[in-house]
Structure 1
Amino acid sequence: MRRLLVLGAGTAGTMVVNKLRRRLDKEEWQITVVDQSDRHFYQPGYLFVPFGVYSAEEIVKPRQRFIPDGVDLVRGEVDRVAPGGNEVLLADGRRLPYDYLVIATGVGPQPDQTPGLLDGGQWRKSIFDFYTFDGAVALAKAMEGFDNGRLVVHIVDMPIKCPVAPLEFTFLADAYFRQRGMRDRVELTYVTPLPGAFTKPIASKRLGSMLDERKIAVETDFLVERVDDKTLVSYDEREIPFDLLVTVPLNMGAEYVARSGLGNELNLVPVDKHTLLAKAYPNIFALGDASDIPASKAGSVAHFSVEVFTENFLRHVRDEPMTGSFDGHANCFVESGDGKALLIDFNYDTEPLPGRYPLPGVGPFSLLKESEVNHWGKLAFRWMYWNLLLPGRPIPLPAHMSMAGKHPEE
């Protein structure tokens, strides 16, 4: 019996076990997935909780519901991977052997890595995050009670999960305060370590102009050193005071990755960016946010990469060359407020371009252009996530990015 062990039953890990359970002979393969929590969170929904669009109950479901028959779900905390012995040690002393290992434990916010953020006495009082379930719920109460002052949306450093989410929060906050008739009493400031609003030039220009149109101040190239009471302080000694800070702390991979000697300085696993095979070991893969590939840490990347990985894995275990090549394909809806959103579609080599997606000239989604259809597409994705994506069912979108429908000349 050959053993496949998957660490993490989030988006990527759940898709993997669903897809491979159908493809691997049950008489020959044992599949096990490990996770600490018995709850599965729809993480794109965190963005909407502070604005009352989703309730907390709408973005949480039992994890077991999405694990297929024939896959063992082990509840536990990973202490370390022992790649020399092909086994995983859990914190309670259990040992799980494997022939092939998939690391899919993602990344998470680490507010303790920025002095004064967690230990300055303002955490969940005037400083909040929305990249965790508890943070989003707490921020909802803070937003409801905020009636004037400076709200600062801040990113500590890149990479982060869903790099457009801080922009989305800023746009939604602008609309939220306008709808409450109090936008003139709120000063909105967007603070980023990047030289512009986004990582890709064309999208950065478009998104930056949207911030300007909404009279949202932008502070770029801001590398935070510490938080002093209610002031962000950068390494070049710039200071940004706030009344309410919505921050995206440093995102890092799981600590066991570092203890196992498998990660870089952010606990991300170095892999071949096309096959997702670990550079150090021929029987370890890292998927989703857990790898160091130069792509967005987003659900779409997990989806498209798992599609390529599945066929590659089947070839790999037969000692055949992996012919699939992941191109870094990502697409993200960007909520812009007032029931509209943009869509961006890009990969390792091609930045977001204007046009229509997924069908040229038809869409129905507009690229780099606000539309109500894009907004409804983002909301509809929650149903697709629970019912199609996690169970590993076919979604009629190509894993590789296509230039069809895009207009580079614009």
Structure 2
Amino acid sequence: MKNLVILGAGTSGTMMANHLVKKLPKKDWKISIVDQCETHYYQPGFLFLPFDIYTSKQVKKNGKKFIPKAVDYINEKIERIVPEENNVQLANGKVLAYDILIIATGTDIAPEEVEGMKGPKWHENIFDFYTYKGAKALRNKLREWEGGKLVVHITEMPIKCPVAPLEFAFLADSYFKNKGMRDKVDITFVTPLGGAFTKPRATAALHHLLEEKGISEVTDFAIERVDYKNNKIIDYADTEVEYDLLVTVPTNMGDSVIERSGLGDDLNFVPTNKATLQSLNHENIFAIGDATNLPASKAGSVAHFEAEILTENIVRYIEGIPLKEEFDGHANCFVETGNGKALLIDFNYTHEPVEGTFPFPGVGPLQLLKESHANHMGKMAFRWIYWNMLIKGIHIPFVSATMSEKGKHFEEEVQ
């Protein structure tokens, strides 16, 4: 019997376990999945937790309940991957041999990469919301915060869900309006990018929303350090931004096991073929989701599209036929803009977000790159879709893994 091992039981790993258990013959293949964390988090919910839109129970569940019974679930820390020997060493001393390895170890924040960020004020007046612990601590802070200078800051790219920091700024505007204290809060959005987002058309639309909501914007800010004693962030050009409350997105890095195994780049992301999801260095290793170095968004929708394509490529690899070079970087993201509205963006490696309709050309019902309540409802519905369809490997109707050009106004890109 041959062994397929999946490292990581987050979004990507759980989806792959559910996809592959239906595709690989049980008499020939044993599928194992390894993760040290028993809790499965709905990470998009971390954005809503600080504003009391979601409760703690709505963003976490026991991860084992989403792993198929036919898959061997191993709750243990991964010590090292040894590709030369085709095995994985676990912290308890056990060694897992594999014929195929899927790396789905994700990414995590590394606030220690910036001087002063993870200092004595961490989770006092300096917060992240990319972890459950950080989002919950920030929720408790916002409940009693009386106002001042709120700075929403991105350290460097790439990060999980590139629009989430903008969404946080928009939701903060809405949150403080609803509390009747918006006039007591000065919101500033600070980014290392030249604009609000990575794509020009979306940047223009999002910049307009920042202006409309009275949110200041500081661009091209390459942070050097956090001066937590004087409540300032300082960049390499000595630009200073003062804060009373700093909500930061620290450097995002791949899992440390990738570094220990010598399989990653400088940020511990796995060099991966951007079309097939096969490792560039080991033909029987594949990577998916946030663990890869792909020039695509690190977002749940991307992992979902990757999983459908990778499943087929795993079967092709086993059968000894050429892999499909099919993944096009497709990302489909709702951008919460506050006050019960959201934008929807749909893009890939080659096409930036444009206006149009989704998922049905000319019909919608969702509008691309335009604020609407329907888009907000789509964002809210996604939590149900996530727990009941997405991580269970169930195809979402009418949404293809590759980006459709139908119903989109690409001609406007060149005007």
TM-score by length of 1: 0.99
2:247 & 2:68 partners in 1: Cα distance?
A: 38
Following superposition of structure 1 onto structure 2, how do residues 148-163 of structure 1 map, counting pairs within 5 Å?
Answer: 148-163=147-162
1:191 & 1:240 partners in 2: Cα distance?
A: 9
Where does residue 76 of structure 2 map in the other structure?
76
Segments of structure 1 that go 5 or more residues without pairing to the other structure are: none
The SS at the match of 1:143 is: helix
Where does residue 372 of structure 2 map in the other structure?
371
Where does residue 352 of structure 1 map in the other structure?
353
The structural deviation recorded for 1:21 is 0.4
The SS at the match of 1:317 is: helix
Cα pair 1:30 1:71 within 8 Å, conserved: yes
Where does residue 336 of structure 1 map in the other structure?
337
Q: Do residues 313 (structure 1) and 314 (structure 2) align? A: yes
1:3 & 1:272 partners in 2: Cα distance?
A: 23
Cα pair 1:343 1:366 within 8 Å, conserved: yes
The SS at the match of 2:14 is: helix
1:137 & 1:318 partners in 2: Cα distance?
A: 47
The SS at the match of 2:334 is: strand
1:351 & 1:214 partners in 2: Cα distance?
A: 24
2:53 & 2:212 partners in 1: Cα distance?
A: 24
1:401 to 400, 403, 408: 403
Deviations along 1:233-270, whole A, 9 cap, x unmatched? 10110111100000000000011101111000000000
**Cα RMSD (Å) of the superposition?**
0.7
Following superposition of structure 1 onto structure 2, how do residues 168-183 of structure 1 map, counting pairs within 5 Å?
Answer: 168-183=167-182
The one-letter amino acid paired with 1:401 is M
Q: Do residues 202 (structure 1) and 204 (structure 2) align? A: no
The one-letter amino acid paired with 2:17 is V
Following superposition of structure 1 onto structure 2, how do residues 77-116 of structure 1 map, counting pairs within 5 Å?
Answer: 77-116=77-116
2:221 & 2:95 partners in 1: Cα distance?
A: 44
The one-letter amino acid paired with 1:321 is P
Where does residue 7 of structure 2 map in the other structure?
7
The SS at the match of 1:203 is: helix
The SS at the match of 1:227 is: strand
Cα pair 1:81 1:256 within 8 Å, conserved: yes
Cα pair 1:308 1:324 within 8 Å, conserved: no
The SS at the match of 2:81 is: strand
Q: Which runs of 4+ in 1 moved over 3 A?
A: none
Segments of structure 2 that go 5 or more residues without pairing to the other structure are: none
The one-letter amino acid paired with 1:36 is Q
The structural deviation recorded for 1:408 is 2.1
The SS at the match of 2:188 is: strand
The SS at the match of 2:166 is: helix
The SS at the match of 1:405 is: coil
1:102 & 1:323 partners in 2: Cα distance?
A: 17
Where does residue 243 of structure 1 map in the other structure?
244
1:226 & 1:97 partners in 2: Cα distance?
A: 43
The structural deviation recorded for 1:179 is 1.2
Following superposition of structure 1 onto structure 2, how do residues 42-53 of structure 1 map, counting pairs within 5 Å?
Answer: 42-53=42-53
The structural deviation recorded for 1:409 is 3.3
1:324 & 1:295 partners in 2: Cα distance?
A: 15
Where does residue 261 of structure 1 map in the other structure?
262
The structural deviation recorded for 1:323 is 2.3
The structural deviation recorded for 1:175 is 0.7
Deviations along 1:318-353, whole A, 9 cap, x unmatched? 111112410000010000000000000000000000
Cα pair 1:79 1:89 within 8 Å, conserved: yes
2:5 & 2:233 partners in 1: Cα distance?
A: 43
Where does residue 167 of structure 1 map in the other structure?
166
Cα pair 1:311 1:324 within 8 Å, conserved: no
Cα pair 1:309 1:324 within 8 Å, conserved: no
Deviations along 1:142-182, whole A, 9 cap, x unmatched? 11111221000000000000000000000000011111111
Where does residue 193 of structure 1 map in the other structure?
192
The one-letter amino acid paired with 1:381 is F
The SS at the match of 2:410 is: coil
Where does residue 213 of structure 2 map in the other structure?
214
The structural deviation recorded for 1:403 is 1.0
1:202 & 1:21 partners in 2: Cα distance?
A: 41
Q: Do residues 323 (structure 1) and 324 (structure 2) align? A: yes
1:379 & 1:7 partners in 2: Cα distance?
A: 29
The one-letter amino acid paired with 1:271 is T
1:370 & 1:142 partners in 2: Cα distance?
A: 29
The structural deviation recorded for 1:94 is 1.3
1:407 & 1:303 partners in 2: Cα distance?
A: 25
- Aligned-residue identity in percent: 54
The one-letter amino acid paired with 2:126 is I
2:141 & 2:367 partners in 1: Cα distance?
A: 34
2:259 & 2:34 partners in 1: Cα distance?
A: 18
The structural deviation recorded for 1:280 is 0.5
The SS at the match of 1:112 is: helix
Q: How many residues get paired?
A: 409
Deviations along 1:63-121, whole A, 9 cap, x unmatched? 111000210000111111000000001122111110100000100001111110002x1
Deviations along 1:183-221, whole A, 9 cap, x unmatched? 111100000000000000000011011101111110000
